[in-house]
Amino acid sequence: MSGVARGAARGFTGKGPGARCSDAPGAVPWAARARSLASSLLCHNEAPADFLVEMYRPIVRPALLALSLTNIVHMTGSVVSELHVECSPLTDVETWKRWVFVALGAAELLVVIALPAHLPALATEAVLCIGITVDMCVCAWFRETTLDFIIASSFQAPHILLCVAAIGIRFKTLAPGFFLIIVNTIVAILVQDVFKGFANMVAASLMYPALAFIIVRVQHGRLKALYDTQVCLAAEQEATQALAAMICDAVFFVGQDGDEILRCDQGLDHWLGCSACGQRLGGFMAEDDRERLRSQITAVTAGDLCPVSLLPSTLLRPCGSPVKDDLFIVDRRRATTLGKGDMQWAFLMGIRVV
């Protein structure tokens, strides 16, 4: 190997004498590593907010309604317990404070009723995060004993998993709420003297937020993979359409029945001599060509043929002589099922005149 080749190899691998100092192990500052770790925790493997909100928008109202009913039931049970021991809710401070749950539940119920059907993505995230954060922070102040604290925390944990982890809110939006919940819980434990010892306090404060954090990361990894799949499918569809437009004289989309032309370019109108949109493709083909087209679409649907196939045919023009052509057929049904494409445009077809 020549000296130039060896030098190029050393420069490429970074292991030769001329390698930069920053490539050596341990050369990356700890601050940069910390920023990289924080960035990966907050923003890595998260799909855009618009995609996530469209995924969990149908269960936004049920989630808020569950929180509202939880607060009302919690307050009702507490008041009944206080009345059972002949303690008036108007004179006993602890019982009166439980009426906060009624106000919180009523407020969440009003939000459910007044929530617009198409709230923007960021606003939807904000409503859910504020509701969950306020609910958890208020509940932390009504746990007078260790057993009450554990029961209340366990009772609220399913709502964290339902409203946060299972619906894919971005962790960047959740981070302030998580931090506030943890700080509020620690302060509530110290003021109410629920737990004895620093270790118990830390465990009680971090247990459920840590569990929710782990599930959030796993959930976002799955949603990000789904989003990447849709992006790839959309790119492949655009590439397929562009390629078909380059090699074909006319490109058009056909419906689920494999016959109705839903959308076409000017090339198809030019070759047919009329407007083809809304027409039946079989109306411009001979009887035997229609049967072969129907058989080919059936075979593609059954998986016996490749999703991309070629069918030589003859194009019958209303105002002109027949034209021999090659009909390219691309089955888009699987791609539109996984992605965001229009399910009506089942087949992409192209005609190349021969």
Q: What is the pLDDT of residues 76-122, one digit of tens each?
A: 555 455 455 454 444 455 556 667 777 777 887 888 888 777 778 78
Beta bridge partners of 87: none
Question: Count H helices, E strands: the chain?
Answer: 13, 5
146-205 tens-digit pLDDT: 555 555 555 555 555 555 555 667 777 777 887 887 788 778 777 766 555 555 555 655
Is 3 contained in some domain?
A: no
Q: Map tokens 């006993």 to a residue.
A: 92
Q: What CA–CA distance (Å, rounded) separates 300 from 167?
A: 36
User: Same domain, yes or no, for 223 and 278?
Assistant: no
User: Same domain, yes or no, for 189 and 284?
Assistant: no
User: Same domain, yes or no, for 131 and 270?
Assistant: no
Residue that is last in its domain, among 174, 201, 230: 230
Is 36 contained in some domain?
A: no
Q: What is the mean pLDDT of residues 9-19?
A: 42
User: Same domain, yes or no, for 169 and 74?
Assistant: yes
Among the listed residues 110, 21, 44, 120, the one whose alpha carbon sits nearest the alpha carbon of residue 72: 110
CB 319 within 8 A of CB 304: no
User: Same domain, yes or no, for 256 and 135?
Assistant: no
User: Same domain, yes or no, for 349 and 255?
Assistant: yes
Is 75 contained in some domain?
A: yes
Is 7 contained in some domain?
A: no
Residue that is last in its domain, among 230, 265, 286: 230
Is 123 contained in some domain?
A: yes
* CATH classification of the domain holding 319: 3.30.450.20
Is 12 contained in some domain?
A: no
User: What percent of the chain lies above the pLDDT cut of 70?
Assistant: 64
215-261 tens-digit pLDDT: 777 778 888 888 888 888 778 777 877 877 788 888 888 988 888 89
User: Same domain, yes or no, for 199 and 262?
Assistant: no
User: Same domain, yes or no, for 341 and 216?
Assistant: no
Q: Which residue has the higher pLDDT, 87 or 281?
A: 281
User: Same domain, yes or no, for 206 and 259?
Assistant: no
Q: How many domains does the chain have?
A: 2
Is 5 contained in some domain?
A: no
Contact residues for 162 (Cβ-Cβ < 8 A; gap 6+): 63, 66
Indicate left, alpha or beta for 228 from its phi (over 0: left) and psi (-120 to 50: alpha).
alpha
CB 132 within 8 A of CB 111: no
User: Same domain, yes or no, for 160 and 274?
Assistant: no
Residue 292: both structure tokens together: 């072969």
Q: What CA–CA distance (Å, rounded) separates 284 from 142?
A: 76
* Cα 277-281-287 angle, rounded to 5 deg: 160
Return mean pLDDT, the chain.
Answer: 71
Give me the torsion for CA of 70, 73, 74, 80, rounded to 10°. 180
User: Same domain, yes or no, for 131 and 253?
Assistant: no
SS3 295: helix
DSSP 15-43: -STT--GGGSTT-S-HHHHHHHHHHHHHH
* Cα 140-52-240 angle, rounded to 5 deg: 165
Q: What CA–CA distance (Å, rounded) separates 353 from 315?
A: 9
User: Same domain, yes or no, for 225 and 183?
Assistant: yes
Among the listed residues 120, 204, 99, the one whose alpha carbon sits nearest the alpha carbon of residue 154: 204
Residue that is last in its domain, among 230, 259, 281: 230
Is 212 contained in some domain?
A: yes
- Domain enclosing residue 276, as ranges: 248-353
